[in-house]
Structure 1
Amino acid sequence: MTLGILPNTQAELLDPALLPPPYVAQYQAHRMGLSIQADVRFETTAQGATYLTQLRPRGLLSLLRDDRIEERSELSLSAQGLRVEHFAHQRTSSDESESSSAQLDWDTAIIRGEHRGQAFEMTLPEQLVDRSALQLALSQRARGGKAEFSLNVIDLNRIVEYHFSVGEVESIRTPLGVLRAVPVTRYDSDRERTISTWFAIDKYYVPVRLEEIRNGQRISLNIQELRWLDPSMN
């Protein structure tokens, strides 16, 4: 059964059977001689999973800016499938720092969190992922089913509905070799930007490229390294 015809439940968003094996990956983006690096670590346990993303400047940019961003998603297994329980975002630099966190209570359908020192509370919709777990949800949708779909995403202290489209399989060149990948694209009309993520079919649909086009300017974050946490898979 493909994801496109599953019932409209939380399990449709995050099916434990469709998760990739635990892994670590490194991505880099280069523009005008400046570089950014993203490190991702995905792990699973008997109780759920964690998805950690860390973003930092490299090279010359690290001399100009010392911003670091860390986002962590904690997911747990339930009768409805894998769902987000806690999300944390932290941005630090020598000048300032800010943080956001949210706890999702599925029993009471309430989200309680804190953003920049201010507490907030929101109603928890039937389906919701955070910005990190969104990559897992998109990778599952890239496997087949609907050509277009929408997802509710908690973005720091607000809930937004994003609309996506699934493209045709492409062959893209990466440091891992030429990979067959499925692009999933979101168009953000408010900011006049398009964000596309390519998921590699032969790498358990791990994201291998993320590209943003804004006002005609393009920047791509490309995978550099991928290592499975199970040594026998490498």
Structure 2
Amino acid sequence: MGRRVRLWWWALAISLLLHGGLLGGLEWRLPHESAPPELAPIDVELVPATAPVAAAVSPSPHPRPAQKPAAPRPAAPPPLPVASPPEPPAEAAAPEAPATSVVADTAPAFTAQPTVPAPPPVEPVVAPPVPLNPLPPRIDLRFEVRYGLASGEQTLVWVNDGAHYTLTSVVGATGLTGLFYRGRFVQTSRGRITPHGLQPREFWDQRGDKYSSARFDSTQGQLTLMPEKGEPRHFAYQGEVQDVLSLFFQFALTAPPPDGQRLTYQVFNGKKLRDYTYEVRGEDWLDTALGTLRTLHIARVADDDGRFEAWLAIDRHYLPVRVLRSDDAGREMELRVRSIAP
């Protein structure tokens, strides 16, 4: 009986020791499990950033010694991932930086602007037209005409208002030639005066009792010839176009071109439209009814239409004072000036 009592007390003592160990172990681990929540306020309680700035802006007359910064706690999580906002992507920040802002000088990352549109292409620089030579509102020219054995006289009248012009040529036989050739040869050219020279619009040609006309459409680049008989004829053209009358005053308005330079025009002679090239052959002294004149010699490059040369009086508005031309049959016609008014 006494032995059982002793075993029971030993069992009770061992049970109390086991329960006490268990309870004591739990109480020892609980403080460590609750330690992390106590460190959360550290994100807000760090050293304030405004203290050094305030001291730099308004210094105190009795500055306090600098405090030794507190050593960071190794268990505290790094604050940057929590306190710093996420940086915007480069694509979103690029349009906000203007090309001439100060940010472009201090933040090179914002100067690379892949979404900024490229500057517009530079337009090619077009040279302005050469100023035209001034001409009086009206000019009357008289020429002596020789055509083979025949002789005659030509009057050429230029009238303009600064924006439009009219040119009229009248040729009639004189002397004995008038006994064989009756009637007159009349041509008229009308059109505009542009910064590049003359732009014919209408042309009339009357040879005895034969009559024809032509119209220039510069917007469509088309010339329409309306003969006295037959259907209208159409000619397409590009660039500079002149008729046989306006060509002389086109030379007068745009002279002098450099020596050796070639001038190319499409010229309507009353029947067809042809491409002609003229070259400048320099200056010549020419004896005329007006005395010895200093002239600019221009000649057409050889072609199937025969010879054409003109001498322009340099001191008389570059007006023609002598003209040589030949037809398909080789017959030559010469014009020599008799008078210029004014």
TM-score (normalizing by structure 1): 0.79
The residue aligned with 1:103 is: 215
2:159 matched to 1:47?
no
- The answer for unaligned runs of 5 or more in structure 2 is 1-125
| Correspondence for 2:287 among 173, 183, 204 | 173
1:29 to 122, 133, 145: 145
Structure of greater Rg = 2
Q: How far off is 1:128 after superposition?
A: 0.8
Residue 19 (structure 1) shift:
4.8
Q: Does 1:199 align with 2:331?
A: no
Contact 2:251 2:318 in 1 (8 A): no
The structure richer in helix per residue is: 2
Is 1:221 paired with 2:335?
yes
Structure 1 contact 115–156 (Cα < 8 Å) conserved: no
Structure 2 Cα separation of the partners of residues 81 and 185 of structure 1: 20
Q: Is the 8 A contact 1:26 1:223 kept in 2?
A: yes
How far off is 1:36 after superposition?
1.4
Q: Which structure 2 residues correspond to residues 10-21 of structure 1 after superposition, within 5 A?
A: 17-21=132-136
Point out the more displaced range, 166-175 or 118-127: 118-127
**Structure 1 position 117, deviation (Å):** 2.3
Higher relative contact order (CA 8 A, sep 6+): 1
- Indicate the residue corresponding to 1:232 in structure 2: none
Tell me the distance in 1 between the aligned counterparts of 2:192 and 2:318: 21
Preserved CA contact (<8 Å) 2:286 2:295: yes
Matched residue SS, 2:224: strand
Cα distance in 1 for residues equivalent to 2:139 and 2:173: 22
1:143 aligns with 2:256: yes
Aligned to 1:70: 186
Change (3 A) 1:67 1:187: farther
Paired with 1:79 and 1:31, the residues of 2 have a C-alpha distance of: 36
CA pair 179-131 structure 1, distance change in 2 beyond 3 A: same
Identify the residue that residue 4 of structure 1 maps to in structure 2.
none
Task: Name the CA distance, whole Å, in 2 between partners of 1:88 and 1:34.
Answer: 24
**Closer, same or farther in 2 for the Cα pair 1:200/1:109, shift >3 Å?**
same
Which secondary structure state, in structure 2, belongs to the residue aligned with residue 168 of structure 1? strand
| Percent identity of equivalent pairs | 19
Contact 2:237–2:266 (8 Å) recurs in 1: no
CA distance in 1 between partners of 2:318 and 2:220 (Å): 33
Deviation at residue 103 of structure 1 after TM alignment: 1.3
Residue 167 of structure 1: CA displacement? 1.3
The answer as to 2:234 corresponding to 1:121 is yes
Q: Is the 8 A contact 1:114 1:157 kept in 2?
A: no
Q: Which runs of 5+ in 1 are unaligned?
A: 1-6, 229-234
CA gap 1:82/1:64 in 2 versus in 1, 3 angstroms = closer
Q: Which residue of 1 aligns with 2:266?
A: 152
Q: Pick closer, same or farther for the CA change 1:61–1:75 going to 2, 3 Å.
A: same
SS at 2:176's partner residue? helix
Q: What's the secondary structure of 1:136's corresponding residue? A: helix
1:133 corresponds to: 246
CA deviations 1:47-104 (Å, max 9, x no partner) are: 3111111111111000111142111110114576541111111111xxxx22221111
- The 2-side partners of 1:27 and 1:57 are apart by 12
